[in-house]
Amino acid sequence: MSGTEGRAILLVAHARRQAAIDVARDLSRRLCQAAVTVRVLDTEAPILDCSGGVPVPADQHAAEHAELVIALGGDGTLLRAAELARPSGVPLLGVNLGHVGFLAEADPMAIDVTAEKILAGDYFVEERLALEVAVRRDDQVVIRDWALNDVSVEKEAREHVISLVLAVDGRPVSRWSCDGIVCATPTGSTAYAFSAGGPVVWPQVQALLAVPLSAHALFARPLVVAPTSTVGIELADPAKVAVMFCDGRRSHSLEPQDRLEIVRSSEPVRLVRLRDTPFTQRLVDKFQLPVQGWTGS
């Protein structure tokens, strides 16, 4: 990239975490000094109090014509920022101020290096598979949504299980009495699906995962299906309702006999990478996996 004229960056921060506020102010100052327009959400602007920050509405237009969206916080903040970045196809950079922060790329302790790389255009963009879900009720689509990590169907009442039927490409696979089902992307395989016993899937693999939650059945193993497949989930109990969550952030009430159809989205989420670290190394580092004893190069 040549020059900084006309460049704009949207900052999205965990406004209840002082570390995120401090980093937002520092990063905003560095970018503004380089003549980059820094946008901040109008709902966060009074708390962040970023010198030179331009407040914008927290809607689907917040990132229009921006170069990057930068999320300052944990994975929850990054998922919130993804909702703002995706409508405009703007790349998303995560600065980890949470715990594991699996989706985040940058370290707050090296914010000066991060700022330098952003200003120099020294980064690359990686596309991640996302999900689209449609909920059918009486042959009518009543809900549409999307997810970067996962779509889950869960029981509404803690004391009862729900009965769900899973289908792939229109053909039923199995019926379970369970707490629910998680349908995840490879990106989401290290999140909720991982906690439910699903496999870790490398981001370069194009696939959809279906992971039952505490299913009372002999066959209740996680499934990995083709990215071209449609994963169907039906609420089979006429007396039980359920809840659908998209990335654990957006919830929708489901009624008996509702059918979910989950497919690969035509619009991926674009994540910024500052260094070409293999996913294997990221996995080892984030989960602090023991690798002593390996003697290979």
Give domain status of residue 1, yes or no.
no
CB 274 within 8 A of CB 105: yes
So what's the pLDDT on residue 100?
Answer: 65
Residues 103 and 214 in one domain: no
Residues 171 and 123 in one domain: no
Residues 137 and 19 in one domain: no
In this prediction, residue 3 has a pLDDT band, given cuts at 50, 70 and 90, of very low
Higher pLDDT, 142 or 5: 142
- CA–CA dist 142, 217 (Å, integer): 31
Give domain status of residue 94, yes or no.
yes
Q: Which of the following is catalytic: 42, 49, 59, 75?
A: 75
Residues 41 and 119 in one domain: yes
Single-letter code of the amino acid located at 90: V
Residues 161 and 119 in one domain: no
Give domain status of residue 292, yes or no.
no
Least confident of 91-105, 142-156, 182-196, 263-277: 91-105
Q: Order of strands across the sheet with 242-246?
A: 223-225, 208-213, 180-184, 150-155, 242-246, 250-254
Look at the chain and report how many structural domains it folds into: 2
135-189 pLDDT, tens digit per residue, is: 999 989 999 999 999 999 999 888 889 999 999 999 999 999 999 999 999 999 9
CB 263 within 8 A of CB 227: no
Domain that holds residue 225: 131-264
Residues 60 and 124 in one domain: yes
Output the domain CATH number for residue 197.
2.60.200.30
Residues 178 and 53 in one domain: no
Please provide the average confidence, as pLDDT, over all residues in the chain: 92
* DSSP 8-state assignment for residue 265: -
Q: Is pLDDT above 70 for 10?
A: yes
- CA–CA dist 77, 75 (Å, integer): 5
CB 282 within 8 A of CB 99: no
Structure tokens at 236: 């089979």
In this prediction, residue 52 has a pLDDT band, given cuts at 50, 70 and 90, of confident
Give domain status of residue 2, yes or no.
no
Residues 282 and 247 in one domain: no
In this prediction, residue 96 has a pLDDT band, given cuts at 50, 70 and 90, of confident
Give domain status of residue 218, yes or no.
yes
So what's the pLDDT on residue 2?
Answer: 36
Residues 142 and 260 in one domain: yes
So what's the pLDDT on residue 238?
Answer: 86
Output the domain CATH number for residue 95.
3.40.50.10330
So what's the pLDDT on residue 21?
Answer: 93
User: By C-alpha distance, which of 89, 47, 49, 48 is closest to 69?
Assistant: 89
Give domain status of residue 236, yes or no.
yes
Q: What is the DSSP string of 90-156?
A: --EEEEE-SSS-TT--B-GGGHHHHHHHHHHT--EEEEE--EEEEEEETTEEEEEEEESSEEEEEES
Question: What sign does the dihedral 158-161-163-167 (CA atoms) show?
Answer: positive
Q: What is the mean pLDDT of residues 276-290?
A: 91
- CA–CA dist 213, 232 (Å, integer): 16
Q: Is pLDDT above 60 for 240?
A: yes
Task: Reply yes or no on whether 122 is catalytic.
Answer: no
Residues 114 and 42 in one domain: yes
- CA–CA dist 160, 96 (Å, integer): 37
Give domain status of residue 297, yes or no.
no
Give domain status of residue 215, yes or no.
yes
Residues 168 and 246 in one domain: yes
Residues 273 and 238 in one domain: no
Question: What is residue 74's three-state secondary structure?
Answer: coil
So what's the pLDDT on residue 158?
Answer: 81
